[in-house]
Amino acid sequence: MQSPTTSYPTRWKRPPLILTHPVWRRVIYLGALIYLVLAVQSIEIDWQRVWLGLDRGWKFVEGFLVPDFVTRWRDISEGLMESLTMTVTSTVAGILISVPIGIGAARNLAPAPVYLACRSIITLSRSFQEVIIAILLVAMFGFGPFAGFLTLAFATIGFLSKLLAEDIEECDHSQLEAIRATGASWWQVVNYAVQPQVMPRLVGLSLYRLDINFRESAVIGIVGAGGIGATLNTAIDRYEYDSAGAILIIIIAIVLVVEYSSSWIRRWVQ
Amino acid sequence: MTDTSTPVWHYRTPKQTLLRWLGWFSLVALTVLCWQLMTENTIWAFVSDAPDQAADIGERMFPPAWGYIGELWEPLWDTINIATLGTLIGVAIAVPVAFLAASNTTPSTRFVRPLALLVIVASRSINSLIWALLLVAIIGPGLLAGVIAIGLRSIGFVAKLLYEAIEEIDTTQVEAVRATGASGAQVIDYAIVPQILPAFWGISVFRWDINIRESTILGLVGAGGLGIQLSASLATLAWNQVAMIFVVILVTVIASEWVSARVRQAVI
């Protein structure tokens, strides 16, 4: 017999979604708060400098709204040309190198020593920022777009081979077996069983990398590897904010065009 | 003459074959053209002596100046702060932008959504180093410029992934909560937020990981952190100090990747 007066709670409190343990939750919250206070204190803000800079910031906003494409058009077009050519050549070179490395880094196609060698190349290429690689390559190959080309090609290898290798490892094994059962050699298995399965994704990834390489080409110019980044750096150094605004607008426009056209091509390929 | 009557099977029609060849040919032609334009001003003498240069730099880099680590703790702390505070600012702004950009939560698809998408695109297409370059010119060198640069760059990334997550939620839960008579804010709080919360933490920690990488180099343009030491060492050609900084950056990046992988595993 249950008494009818058993009290049920009348209010419902939503349980926490993550960090369900109450003690750990408090400890982590407290730790985060202490860290936040310490971190904010480490920033020294010179309000006077900020106040002075607001004026300059406003000038930059004005430059962005009323960009000046004409005065420095020769420098801008030169930088743009370097960036675009660098992007295309480095993407093509990167793809050509990363396809064999990607195949070598796939566990189901390559023997263990090759697999380890290819995986270590990928790790090496992925662990450093493009800008750091650019610094080293500029020191070795001199200023200019050639160092930028090498940087972007090197960064492309890490990105493309890793994703390609993962894609090959995930592909449908029954097709590999079927082709192997016909007595096909290793090359023929790669050509007839793997390539048709990974091709659409490889095209998609290459286009995505083209997009990334253009964005990066705008950055590595700052450390001397040529391209539109160098032009932008110069424009800001000269306080020509209207030219800088024009360059930024061009970068955003090209990124948009590349992004939309690549998503269009990807839909068409797949 | 029985040959002509039996058609031979081809994978593609002649027109398709021709078009494919044309496509490949124009790709190769474009690449060669770009290569020509790019290398027009290249001084090949510098390129050909690159192996010597590489050997020279490698020799000077080794062994890294281990003692230099004493001067690197503070910049390292700054770097981590830039990344963390920048991520916090970016996420704080990205959340409302994502709700305005998602087609199922935006107040108006005609005016607000394109505006929110524009914010996302503008933030995404400009690298944090360029943001830092601008901000250093505007508000002066220091940590603040780095924090804001990282924050501005993070908005687009977080907002894009988050609004895609919001658009993919299970609508039956939203309907169920709405059927109880919940207001708009309550629907978001009880039906949408619980569904996207794991994605939100995953995205934020992933961005934090990327931001650690990016904030190590922001100092090259004067925005604080390890990059300032790096540019100083580069300017004095102290390659063994540069090597030490690379080691610190590598360890930091690996540690942050480990942390973010663990957190994502725990959350998702």
| Nearest by CB: A223 against B50, B220, B267 | B220
Model ipTM over 0.95: no
CA neighbor of A255 nearest in space, from A192, A220, A206, A208: A208
Checking if the pLDDT of A17 tops 70, the result is no
Q: How confident is the model at residue A78, as a pLDDT?
A: 87
pTM: 0.82
Q: Which of B130, B133, B139 has its CB closest to that of A53?
A: B139
Residue closest to A80 by CA, chosen among A257, A258, A254, A261: A254
Q: A138 with B265: CB under 8 angstroms?
A: no
User: What DSSP assignment string belongs to A33-100?
Assistant: HHHHHHHHHH----HHHHHHHHHHHHHHHHHHHS---STTHHHHHHHHHHHHHHHHHHHHHHHHHHHH
Positive or negative torsion for Cα A70, A71, A76, A78:
positive
Question: Any idea what the Cα angle at residue B131 is, between residues B72 and B253, rounded to 5°?
Answer: 40
| Rounded CA separation B202/B208 (Å) | 10
Query: How far away is chain A from the Cα of B169, in angstroms, using its nearest Cα?
Result: 17
Q: With an 8 Å Cβ cutoff, are A239 and B137 in contact? A: yes
Whether A233 and chain B come into contact, CB under 8 Å, resolves to yes
Please answer yes or no on whether A140 and B53 come within 8 Å at the CB atom.
yes
Chain A hits for B40, Cβ within 8 Å: none
Question: How many Cβ atoms from other residues are within 10 Å of residue B110's Cβ?
Answer: 7
Residues 50-109 of A with CB under 8 A from B: 50, 53-54, 56-57, 60, 81-82, 84-86, 88-89, 92
Q: Which residues of chain A does B142 touch, with a Cβ-Cβ cutoff of 8 Å?
A: 43-46
Q: Please check the confidence at residue B45 and state whether its pLDDT lies above 80.
A: no
Beta-carbon separation of A84 and B140 below 8 A:
no
Residues of chain A with pLDDT > 70: what percent? 96
Measure B7 CA to nearest chain A CA, in Å: 24
Helix (H) or strand (E) holding B198: helix B193-215
Which residues make Cβ contacts (< 8 Å) with residue A265, sequence separation at least 6? A203, A207
| 3 state SS of A12 | coil
Between the CA atoms of B132, A143, A122 and B29, what dihedral angle is there, to the nearest 10 degrees?
Answer: 110
- Cβ distance A140 to B54 less than 8 Å, yes or no, reads yes
Residue A5 — pLDDT band, cuts 50, 70, 90? low
Lowest mean pLDDT among A229-243, B37-51, B104-118, B161-175: B37-51
What average pLDDT is seen over chain B? 86
Distances in Å between the alpha carbon of A242 and those of A9, A73, B170, B237? Answer: 65, 12, 47, 35
